[in-house]
Chain A
Amino acid sequence: MADKKWMPRWFYQLASPRWCYDITGKLLPIFAVAAVLLLVTGTVWALMFAPADYQQGNSFRIIYIHVPSAILAQSCYMMMAVAGAIGLIWKMKVADMVAKSCAPIGATIAILALATGAIWGKPTWGSWWVWDARLTSMLILLFLYFGVMALNSAIESEQTAAQATAVLALVGLVNIPIIKYSVDWWNTLHQPATFTLTEKPAMPPEMWIPLLVMVIGFYCFFAVAMMLRLRNEIVRRERRSSWVRELISG
């Protein structure tokens, strides 16, 4: 390949399904242990030791599920779109498989974010659902995931399906900044961001540290779920290759 030096070596190694299958096999237990530890620690900390909010009391604690799932649903979409773009540009099969594996996980997490938001909204705002910019754009994100999944399974050829879904995912990418800035650009019922990369959170450390633990735990859980799906996908698509036959018979 003429452009071998253009990207680091691991990038090209990732293109090999077999290498990818091996490396995920090694990473999987690490992320699984980290996810369990972080999620258990975070949950116990959040439910038992973190203080209640002065206005909302204990119903505020749903933030420890709601915020991580909302963040993850968006990150997962970005990963799906980037993987789709890599698949389009470099014709990398593994990237297509990553994009395909992301969609159902992201959809589930987006449903979790919307459901916990509704459960939180009823006692605090007084309504399960409001058509404000933040909630609506988040619902669009869920529909984008559904669209990607439907489109992918509607097309027979794996390669064409991957190309079509990548284009859809890239078009939908515009929704991500809309979700993020909806609370700043427009009047919404939803409050502004809890976590930002640039500023210290408005709440005290005994509240945001368990939240951070949960966020990292959610990311580890996502890594585990993604790698499991990816490995299935690799084996399914490479079933005719000699190394997979060996793996199965071995």
Chain B
Amino acid sequence: MNPKRKQRLMIVLFIVFGAAIAVGLVMYALNQNINLFYSPTDIAEGKAPEETRIRAGGMVVEGSVKRDPESLKVQFGMTDYAHSVTVTYEGILPDLFREGQGIVAQGEMNADGVFEAVEVLAKHDENYMPPEVAEALEKAGQMPDQVRAREAQQQ
């Protein structure tokens, strides 16, 4: 390469790496704020702000969903397999909401340590599969969420 081009190449590299370092530092500083939600562990450890609206995310605890027969009120446990938090919600839940499924809820912690959600969003993972495969895996206890729960218990 002739010196002129080498010099311009250096400028280009400087732009790319300069921008990368600058943005990297900003994101390092803002790390916590970029997270969409707090985990039940964050809430248990007091990392989540209280008496203000926050998002909390985790898995719906198996067998914990209690629906009020008279209204749209629903109560369930949410866990990251280390800590759990009880969530209450009134409204229509998304189609993918079910036990063992990940969710992100927006709301506030009340004085009793119950999370009062005003919005519940369902999370899903990248393990797409046909219904027959899911059924077979379910029987064998090899579904991704079953495996995850088992691994978490072993730790």
Binding site for B on A (CB under 8 A): 2-3, 6, 51-56, 60, 63, 85, 88-90, 123-127, 130-133, 167, 170-171, 173-174, 178, 185-189, 191-194, 201-204, 206-207
B130 pairs with A206, CB closer than 8 A: yes
Binding site for A on B (CB under 8 A): 1-2, 5, 8-9, 11-12, 15-16, 19-20, 23-24, 27, 31, 34-37, 39, 57, 93-97, 101, 104, 119-135, 144
B124 pairs with A187, CB closer than 8 A: no
Question: What residues on A are CB-neighbors of B23 within 8 Å?
Answer: 174, 178
A90 vs B12: C-alpha distance in the bound complex, in angstroms? 12
- Cβ-closest chain B residue relative to A201: B126
Question: What residues on B are CB-neighbors of A193 within 8 Å?
Answer: 126
A183 vs B144: C-alpha distance in the bound complex, in angstroms? 18
Question: What residues on B are CB-neighbors of A126 within 8 Å?
Answer: 93-97, 119-122
A189 vs B127: C-alpha distance in the bound complex, in angstroms? 15
Interface residue from A52, A130, A201 paired with B121 (Cβ < 8 Å): A130
* Other contacts beyond A53-B128, A126-B119: 13, CB < 8 A: A3-B5, A51-B131, A55-B124, A124-B95, A124-B96, A125-B96, A125-B123, A130-B104, A170-B15, A173-B19, A189-B36, A189-B57, A203-B127
B126 pairs with A54, CB closer than 8 A: no
A206 vs B129: C-alpha distance in the bound complex, in angstroms? 9
A203 pairs with B96, CB closer than 8 A: no
A170 pairs with B36, CB closer than 8 A: no
Known: A52-B131, A125-B96, A204-B129. A130 touches B11 (CB 8 A): no
Known: A3-B5, A174-B23. A124 touches B122 (CB 8 A): yes
Question: What residues on B are CB-neighbors of A56 within 8 Å?
Answer: 95-96, 124, 128
Question: What residues on A are CB-neighbors of B39 within 8 Å?
Answer: 187
Interface residue from B5, B122, B126 paired with A194 (Cβ < 8 Å): B126
A203 pairs with B36, CB closer than 8 A: no
A159 vs B154: C-alpha distance in the bound complex, in angstroms? 63
- Cβ-closest chain B residue relative to A133: B34
Question: What residues on A are CB-neighbors of B95 within 8 Å?
Answer: 56, 123-124, 126
B1 pairs with A6, CB closer than 8 A: yes
Task: Report the minimal beta-carbon distance from A179 to chain B, rounded to whole angstroms.
Answer: 12
B2 pairs with A2, CB closer than 8 A: yes
Question: What residues on A are CB-neighbors of B12 within 8 Å?
Answer: 85, 88-89, 170
- Cβ-closest chain B residue relative to A193: B126
Interface residue from B31, B57, B129 paired with A54 (Cβ < 8 Å): B129
Known: A170-B16, A203-B128, A206-B130. A55 touches B96 (CB 8 A): yes
Task: Report the minimal beta-carbon distance from B95 to chain A, rounded to whole angstroms.
Answer: 6
- Cβ-closest chain B residue relative to A51: B130
Question: What residues on B are CB-neighbors of A88 within 8 Å?
Answer: 8, 11-12
B121 pairs with A125, CB closer than 8 A: yes
A173 vs B17: C-alpha distance in the bound complex, in angstroms? 10
A127 pairs with B35, CB closer than 8 A: no
A125 pairs with B125, CB closer than 8 A: no
- Cβ-closest chain A residue relative to B8: A89
A138 vs B26: C-alpha distance in the bound complex, in angstroms? 18
